[in-house]
Amino acid sequence: MTKLKPRPEWTDARRIVVKIGSALLVDRATGRLRATWLNSLGDDVAALAAAGKEVVLVSSGAIALGRHGLGLPKGALELEQSQAAAAVGQISLSAAYREVFAARGLAVAQVLLTLGDTEERRRYLNARRTIDTLIAHKCIAVVNENDTVATTEIRYGDNDRLSARVASMITADCLVLLSDIDGLYTAPPGSRPDAVRLDEVRAITPEIEAMAGDAGSELSRGGMKTKVEAGRIALGSGIHMVIASGKALHPLRQLVEGAPCTWFVASNDPVAARKRWIAGQLVPAGTVHVDAGAEKALLGGKSLLPAGVVRIEGAFGRGDAVVIKSPTGMELGRGLVAYDATEARQIAGKKSGEIAAILGHAGRAELVHRDDMVVGRG
Ligand code: GLU
C-alpha cells in the first residue's frame, strides 16, 4: 500500500474512541476470540498510548462470545437469551482485553453503560467523571452496553451509537468505527458493482442517509444505518469520525498509513458541551407544546416561559430533556426543563410571577432557560 500523509483529523486528535465490532473479534465459525487480531490491535493501541494519545475502546462481542459458551443456536436470539449470553461473554471479553494489554504494560477497566448513563445529565456527568479518572490513570477503558440488564425500551441496541455517545460524553476528538466494511458506499457494494466508497462526508444529508441502507452481519447488530446515525451524533458534537475496515491485522496502523476509509469531518464551530449533549439526546422524556408568541421568542433566542406553554406531554422530571413543539407540531428545539411534568402542567399558560402562588414555592421564571436549550436542531 502506498503511504499517504495521515489526515489532520487523526494526527491532531488527542482523545480517541475506537469502536470494535463483534465480527472482528469473534470468529464466526468457531465462536472464539480472534486472538492474533486482538493482539495486533493491542500493539496499535499501546503505540498510540505511548505517543501520548488517550484511547477509549468500545467493544462489542459479549453476546457473540457468550452464545457460544451457552451453546445457543445460530440465528436471532430472544431478549433474555442475549442478556444471558452477554452475562457469560462479557467475562471472556474483559479477560481477553486484560491479558492483551497487561502484556503491553497497560491496565484495563471494564465500563458497562445503559442508555440512561448517557441520556440523563446527572448520570452522564457521573459516567464521564469515571472515564476521565480512568484516562488520568492511564488505564484503557473498555466500554460496552450493559446488555444483561438492558431491556428493549432502555437500550442503545448497537455499539455504533453507543460509541458516538461515549465520544460525545468524554469530548473525544475522533471516533474510529472498526468494522467489516471499509467505509460508506453510494450503494450496497455487495449487490451493486457500481457502488463507490466515499472518502469524505461533511454533513448527514438525506442522500447520505439513503446510502446507508439497513444491512448488518449476523454477529453484529449495527449496519451502515447505525454508523451513519453515529456520524450524526459525532458531527453534532464536533467530533470527527471514520469508518474503516478492521479486517486486517493492525487496523489502526493501517488507518494511519492510508487504508481506504470514509471520514466524517466535523466543522470547527465551537458549540458548548452542554448544548451538544442536549442536541444529541436520543430519548427525550416529554414534549412541551408552545403558542405562536413563544415560538417567535424562541426563534429570537429567548427562554421559554410558562406563559407560552399550551400543553405538556410525558412524565418527565426536573432537568430531563424535552422536545419543544410549535403550534403546527414542528420541532422547534430541545432543552432541559426546570420543572417536573406535574408542576409544568400547573404553571402552563400562567405568568412567571404567579409560579410561587400556584406551586407554593418559588422557582425559576423560565420553564426552559435559553442556556439549556438548542433551537433548530436538524
Ligand atoms: N453490546 C453487544 C455485545 O457486546 C454488541 C452490540 C453491537 O454489535 O453493536 O455483544
Which pLDDT tens digit goes with each residue over 140-153?
999 999 988 877 76
Mutate to test the pocket of ligand 1, among 79, 145, 218 (most ligand atoms within 8 A of CB): 145
Phi, then psi, of 139 in degrees rounded to 5: -105, 140
Phi, then psi, of 197 in degrees rounded to 5: -80, 135
Which ligand 1 atom is at minimum distance from the Cα of 93?
4
Cα separation, 39 vs 303, in Å, equals 53
Beta-carbon contacts of 83 under 8 Å, excluding residues fewer than 6 positions away, are 147, 148, 149, 150
- All three cell numbers of 149, joined, read 440488564
Domains assigned to the chain = 8-273 (3.40.1160.10), 282-375 (2.30.130.10)
pLDDT score, position 377: 45
Q: Closest Cα to atom 5, ligand 1: which residue?
A: 60
pLDDT score, position 135: 95
pLDDT score, position 220: 41
pLDDT score, position 364: 87
pLDDT score, position 153: 65
pLDDT score, position 142: 98
Q: Closest Cα to atom 2, ligand 1: which residue?
A: 60
pLDDT score, position 282: 62
pLDDT score, position 209: 86
Cα separation, 336 vs 359, in Å, equals 20
Nearest to 226 by CA among 172, 156, 170, 281: 156
Q: Encode 119-179 in three state secondary structure.
A: HCHHHHHHHHHHHHHHHHCCEEEEEEECCCCCCHHHCCCCHHHHHHHHHHHCCCCEEEEEE
Cα separation, 286 vs 200, in Å, equals 36
Q: What would the pLDDT profile of 19-70 be if each residue is shown by its tens digit?
A: 999 999 999 888 899 999 999 999 999 999 999 999 999 999 999 999 988 9
Mutate to test the pocket of ligand 1, among 79, 143, 147 (most ligand atoms within 8 A of CB): 147
In the chain, which residues have pLDDT < 70?
A: 1-4, 153-154, 214-222, 268-274, 276-277, 281-282, 377-378
pLDDT score, position 319: 83
Cα separation, 54 vs 230, in Å, equals 20
For the range 137-141, what are the long-range contacts, defined as Cβ-Cβ under 8 Å and sequence gap of 24 or more?
Answer: 137/107, 138/49, 138/106, 138/107, 139/106, 139/107, 139/108, 139/109, 140/45, 140/49, 140/55, 140/56, 140/57, 140/97, 140/101, 140/106, 140/107, 140/108, 140/109, 141/56, 141/57, 141/108, 141/109, 141/111
pLDDT score, position 221: 45
Residue 197 Cα to ligand 1 midpoint, Å, equals: 25
Predicted TM-score (pTM) of the model is 0.74
Pocket around ligand 1: residues whose beta carbon is below 6 Å from it? 22, 60-64, 86, 144-145, 147, 158-159, 220-222
pLDDT score, position 28: 83
pLDDT score, position 362: 81
pLDDT score, position 214: 57
Cα separation, 318 vs 329, in Å, equals 23
Residue 20 Cα to ligand 1 midpoint, Å, equals: 9
